[in-house]
Chains A and B, each alone.
Chain A
Amino acid sequence: MAHHHPDEGFLLDYATGVMAEPLAVVIACHLTLCPCCRTTVAQMEHVGGALLERVEGEPLEPDCFEAVMARIAQEPTLCPAACRDAATSGDLPRPLMACLSGCSIGRTWQRPFGIEMQGLPCKVPGHHLRLLRIQPGRAVPRHSHDGIELAIVLKGAFSDASGTYGRGDIACADGSVDHRQAAEPGEPCVCLVATTGRLTFTGPFGPLLNLTLRL
């Protein structure tokens, strides 16, 4: 059960469908692992339904219904079950598996400073989505952000000054946060991290990291 949840503003952006994909992947992974936030999102959708019910309707073109029926007659019926990818491990939430399909995970891990990192396909300009694997005792060097960093822990746990985060937990940081995430003892910590803008490393080796990594 997750203990750290996303801000309601993020859940609302997800519920109304305005969230950029990389952030929405992190939120959908959290929702898979957190029944409590799933309920909140469902409630937000109920509000959308009530608002739809509440608007005053306006007339459509006279043959609009017939046009819908003609459209239905033309198109083949889709079978959602046949489109679903059945083979997934029970470990990684499906919203992440969908991003991974077609990318050869395990081959292209970068290993800057002992932190294994895999960039995932991301079409949204200025956004990044990365999988990180941090070995126990290792840490992501101290850094700050000029946008938002939304992370979800998928395996193991990490901690920073704000607390300890385990499977399903969301950690959100913005420009006001300068932190260093260290994996807890035990198994390696795997997390999925969406960021907007750039990271700036602020520790003693910061200037060197900023030049060489450009994250």
Chain B
Amino acid sequence: MHAAVLVRNDPAGLEGRMAALHAPDAGRPAGFEADLIAVGRDRDRAAFRRLFDHFAPRLKSFLRRGRTNETLLDDIVQDVFANIWRRAASYDPAKAGASTWIYTIARNRRIDIARRARPEVDIDDPALVPEEADDAPLPDHQANQGEMGRLLTAALTGLPAEQSDVVAMAYYEDMSHSEIAERLDMPLGTVKSRLRLALSKLRQTMDGLD
């Protein structure tokens, strides 16, 4: 799993990745990763519209499940997409698929709305301890992002209800693990172990790709 690896500035590699994204069976047919790159590099409105048509309705539904003020839903979706447009140039297909990257933009908007601050890791930090060189991404790693999405979706479907419930509360409903314990009236340890079991299954799916 190389999701947090430092990015190389490698235009030739980027072309290879783009080709891989459009190749049959390499990622979603619609190529949302390629669309994000096109928005960042060429300010491509048609690509942006494709991303909007696919993700905006999902985002609205995603935000509704959280503690988002009903009347603000469309407004927040617009904010998130304005941020996607602004930040698309920093999107790196080697690190995340389009849905993961858009999830993090939406999460950050939620954090802003809750007036929390989010201390971020800076990959240019001189203090950063890099991954071992052996773990450097293969040139065609991006092609795995779409595959990873499919496998993860299958693994999520396969989780027992008691585990998928806590995962849904953590992600959709924006709850900390201690808040989930309160809501379910369960010991914190039980919630933690359910989350741990669920995440370990999901992470095995991702580790299997590398």
Please indicate the chain A residues that have their CB under 8 angstroms from the CB of B55 in the complex.
52
Select one of A28, A39, A65, A92 contacting B4, CB under 8 A: A39
Please indicate the chain B residues that have their CB under 8 angstroms from the CB of A95 in the complex.
119-122
Please indicate the chain A residues that have their CB under 8 angstroms from the CB of B4 in the complex.
35, 38-39, 41-42
A5-43 at interface with B (beta carbon < 8 Å): 7-9, 12-13, 16-21, 24-25, 27-28, 31-35, 38-43
Question: Besides the contacts A13-B177, A45-B96, what 5 more A-B pairs have beta carbons closer than 8 Å?
Answer: A32-B125, A40-B203, A51-B156, A57-B57, A58-B64
Please indicate the chain B residues that have their CB under 8 angstroms from the CB of A161 in the complex.
none
Interchain CA distance A77-B39 in the complex, whole Å = 14
Chain B 149-184, CB within 8 Å of chain A: the 1/0 string? 100110010000000000110111011110100000
Given contacts A28-B120, A45-B104, A61-B74, contact A51 B128 (CB under 8 A): no
Contact B176 A18 (CB under 8 A): yes
Select one of A8, A49, A64 contacting B103, CB under 8 A: A49
Please indicate the chain B residues that have their CB under 8 angstroms from the CB of A32 in the complex.
121-122, 125, 127-129
Please indicate the chain A residues that have their CB under 8 angstroms from the CB of B131 in the complex.
35, 38-39
8 intermolecular pairs with C-beta atoms under 8 Å apart: A19-B176, A35-B130, A45-B104, A48-B171, A49-B101, A50-B149, A55-B172, A59-B57
Q: Could you tell me the distance in whole angstroms from the C-beta of A33 to the nearest C-beta in chain B?
A: 5
Chain A interface size band reads 35 or more
Contact B1 A42 (CB under 8 A): yes
Please indicate the chain B residues that have their CB under 8 angstroms from the CB of A41 in the complex.
4
**B-side interface mostly:** helix
* B60 on interface, CB distance cutoff 8 Å: yes
Looking across the interface, which residue of chain A has its beta carbon closest to that of B129? A33
* A99 on interface, CB distance cutoff 8 Å: yes
Contact A78 B176 (CB under 8 A): no
A76-99 at interface with B (beta carbon < 8 Å): 77-78, 80, 84, 88-95, 98-99
Interchain CA distance A38-B77 in the complex, whole Å = 28
* B202 on interface, CB distance cutoff 8 Å: yes
Given contacts A33-B127, A53-B153, A58-B64, contact A20 B78 (CB under 8 A): no
Please indicate the chain B residues that have their CB under 8 angstroms from the CB of A99 in the complex.
119
Please indicate the chain A residues that have their CB under 8 angstroms from the CB of B156 in the complex.
47, 50-51, 54
Interchain CA distance A34-B132 in the complex, whole Å = 11
Chain A 177-197, CB within 8 Å of chain B: the 1/0 string? 000000000000000000000
Contact B152 A47 (CB under 8 A): yes
Contact A48 B118 (CB under 8 A): no
